[in-house]
A and B are shown apart, each in its own frame.
Chain A
């Protein structure tokens, strides 16, 4: 029994070391964000400095990180809402009604889930140019209306949780189909919407290559594109300001994760076991 206790202590020590290794990059980022450039060049320390505000002034004079933050937030929220609403509507139609091409649509989904996102990137760029929506958010947001994977997930969810008799009862009471979608189906789908919503949001928030290709105006930069631009900007000569810029893009997500981690992790578990 003593041997068990000893190996348990050893394992916990190992785990704590692993956690420390995982967090050192973030810790260095936060510490260096508070130190002046000259000190960062000289060496590293684990104690915060006093140049946070100076670094902030340097950073903000070249790049409005908060604007990037707002832009990313706007795009990610739009994408998440459109993705959830229209995927639910499509899944509803696929589960409840009988119509032509229903199976063809379903097979298309399965195929499309295997297609890498970059396959149509060049075509999307050119289409956006033709439509005159290059350098706007439309090409980033509109495609969210057609998300095969979310529809697939919602469809499976509806099949297992919804009884068709609910709809029949609704029809007898004189409710319209649209009304039933909003009042009955959407609430039933809520847990699935939350699960997919988190991943859709994170996916959009982190998306780099599509906005990199589509967005040209610095005012419209999303956060990842802004990070890319940061390394080529005058800010790069002040490491403290650089670290601060990165920290501003990272820390809010970490804080959000603190509140949502339980939910996110159970979603990954559910997704992998079912999928």
Chain B
């Protein structure tokens, strides 16, 4: 037996080696760079160690705050729309009185945008939302909804709204499936008992569905926050990749990418990566705590 146990080291060796070299080492390397003014070119030896200067810059950098609030605003609007549709659909399809058919068909149709490459989606919408020749303006004009073409991607509010709605379009199907799974896990007995006790639809929703659905809601919320904070592909490809219009699409990862790879500022880019990491941890922890504290 002991002999076999020793073989375990052999089995985990590829994982451990690759993990240390390609996962953990780059993370530590990035941290080290965050303490230097390394440009990314000419080797780290030519860079100076500058201590926490980059972090001091980070907490006073108004573009970082702009990127943070842009990211949160876009994620928040996206999440509201996405959850409103997803929860609405999940409630409709699980209603014991309505008995709707075709769940699996609708689930598949609504989920489809989620597996399409985001880069392709971003490029598609960059031309669909074009001011002069974009499909959306052409359609709205010919339907008579608008008289003048709207310059969607040149207006900060519209541009952020567009990113949020594209995100909601891509993700509501996923949330619908997950919520649906959660609701179908709730025992039918609760609802039947509530019906006998004369509870109305809203009371069943508030006192049975919502509390029972809490772990699933938490799961959807946390995965959505972690994904939302990393928003990059859409803002990168929807406009000029530098946050246009007027910095409205400057998100945290886009800012990181531009600092490191467009402006050759590895040191500060690395600091931004750690700033993003810190924010992700805080958000996940806060979400987790508030969702579970209300229970007790």
A→B interface (CB under 8 Å):
4, 7-8, 11-12, 15, 18-19, 22-23, 25, 28-29, 32, 40-41, 43-44, 86-87, 89-90, 92-94, 96-99, 105, 112, 114-127, 139, 142-143, 145-146, 148, 151, 171, 177, 181, 202, 205-206, 208-209, 212-213, 223-225, 227-228, 230-231, 239, 242-243, 246, 249-250, 253-254, 257, 261-262, 264-265, 268-269, 272-273, 275
Q: Which residues of chain B come closer than 8 Å to A116, judged between CB atoms?
A: 226, 229-230, 276-277, 280
Question: Is B104 a contact of A265 with CB atoms below 8 Å?
Answer: yes
Q: Which residues of chain B come closer than 8 Å to A123, judged between CB atoms?
A: 25-30, 33, 270
B→A interface (CB under 8 Å):
4-9, 11-12, 14-16, 18-19, 21-23, 25-30, 33, 40, 44, 85, 92, 97-98, 100, 104, 106-113, 115-120, 122-128, 132-133, 135, 138-139, 142, 169, 174, 177-178, 180-182, 185, 216, 219-220, 226, 229-230, 232-233, 236-237, 253, 256-257, 260-261, 266, 269-270, 273-274, 276-277, 280-281, 284
Q: Within the complex, what minimum Cβ distance (angstroms) separates A167 from chain B?
A: 9
Q: Which residues of chain A come closer than 8 Å to B138, judged between CB atoms?
A: 43-44
Known: A127-B22, A269-B178. A8 touches B100 (CB 8 A): yes
Q: Within the complex, what minimum Cβ distance (angstroms) separates A38 from chain B?
A: 11
Distance of A63 Cα from B266 Cα, bound (Å): 31
Question: Is B115 a contact of A120 with CB atoms below 8 Å?
Answer: no
List the 7 closest pairs (A to B, CB-CB), nearest first: A123-B26, A120-B26, A123-B29, A224-B119, A97-B8, A146-B19, A93-B11
Question: Is A126 a contact of B280 with CB atoms below 8 Å?
Answer: no
Question: Is A41 a contact of B133 with CB atoms below 8 Å?
Answer: yes
Question: Is A208 a contact of B11 with CB atoms below 8 Å?
Answer: no
Question: Is A254 a contact of B276 with CB atoms below 8 Å?
Answer: no
Question: Is A122 a contact of B30 with CB atoms below 8 Å?
Answer: yes
Question: Is A122 a contact of B281 with CB atoms below 8 Å?
Answer: no
Distance of A231 Cα from B122 Cα, bound (Å): 11
Q: Within the complex, what minimum Cβ distance (angstroms) separates A258 from chain B?
A: 8
With beta carbons under 8 angstroms apart, the residue of A23, A202, A243 that contacts B115 is A202
With beta carbons under 8 angstroms apart, the residue of A22, A86, A227, A261 that contacts B120 is A227
Question: Is B181 a contact of A272 with CB atoms below 8 Å?
Answer: yes
The chain B residue sitting closest to A40, CB to CB, is B133
Label chain B's interface by main secondary structure: helix
Q: Within the complex, what minimum Cβ distance (angstroms) separates A128 from chain B?
A: 9
Question: Is A118 a contact of B256 with CB atoms below 8 Å?
Answer: yes
Question: Is B15 a contact of A8 with CB atoms below 8 Å?
Answer: no
Question: Is B104 a contact of A228 with CB atoms below 8 Å?
Answer: no
Question: Is A177 a contact of B4 with CB atoms below 8 Å?
Answer: yes
The chain B residue sitting closest to A94, CB to CB, is B12
Question: Is A119 a contact of B15 with CB atoms below 8 Å?
Answer: no
Question: Is B11 a contact of A223 with CB atoms below 8 Å?
Answer: no
Known: A123-B25, A239-B133. A86 touches B115 (CB 8 A): no
Question: Is B98 a contact of A4 with CB atoms below 8 Å?
Answer: yes
Q: Identify which of A171, A208, A257 gathers the most chain B CB atoms within 10 Å of its CB.
A: A208
Distance of A98 Cα from B5 Cα, bound (Å): 6
Question: Is B15 a contact of A114 with CB atoms below 8 Å?
Answer: no
The chain A residue sitting closest to B252, CB to CB, is A118
Question: Is B110 a contact of A118 with CB atoms below 8 Å?
Answer: no
Known: A89-B11, A118-B273, A239-B133. A126 touches B4 (CB 8 A): no
Distance of A18 Cα from B172 Cα, bound (Å): 11
Q: Which residues of chain A come closer than 8 Å to B5, judged between CB atoms?
A: 97-99
Question: Is A119 a contact of B115 with CB atoms below 8 Å?
Answer: no
Q: Within the complex, what minimum Cβ distance (angstroms) separates B276 from chain A?
A: 6
Question: Is A224 a contact of B120 with CB atoms below 8 Å?
Answer: yes
Q: Within the complex, what minimum Cβ distance (angstroms) separates A114 from chain B?
A: 6
Known: A22-B169, A121-B30, A145-B14. A227 touches B219 (CB 8 A): no
Q: Within the complex, what minimum Cβ distance (angstroms) separates B132 from chain A?
A: 8
With beta carbons under 8 angstroms apart, the residue of B132, B133, B270, B280 that contacts A114 is B280
**Extra inter-chain contacts (6) besides given A116-B229, A127-B26, A181-B11, CB under 8 Å:** A19-B106, A115-B277, A212-B257, A246-B124, A253-B116, A257-B115
With beta carbons under 8 angstroms apart, the residue of A41, A89, A261 that contacts B15 is A89
With beta carbons under 8 angstroms apart, the residue of A7, A142, A212 that contacts B98 is A7
Known: A32-B135, A118-B253, A124-B22. A254 touches B125 (CB 8 A): no
Question: Is B117 a contact of A223 with CB atoms below 8 Å?
Answer: yes
Question: Is A146 a contact of B18 with CB atoms below 8 Å?
Answer: yes
A-B contact pairs, 27 of them (CB 8 A): A22-B109, A22-B110, A25-B124, A32-B135, A43-B138, A86-B18, A89-B14, A90-B11, A98-B8, A99-B9, A105-B12, A116-B229, A116-B230, A116-B276, A116-B280, A122-B26, A122-B30, A123-B28, A123-B270, A143-B18, A143-B23, A209-B253, A231-B123, A243-B124, A254-B112, A265-B111, A268-B177
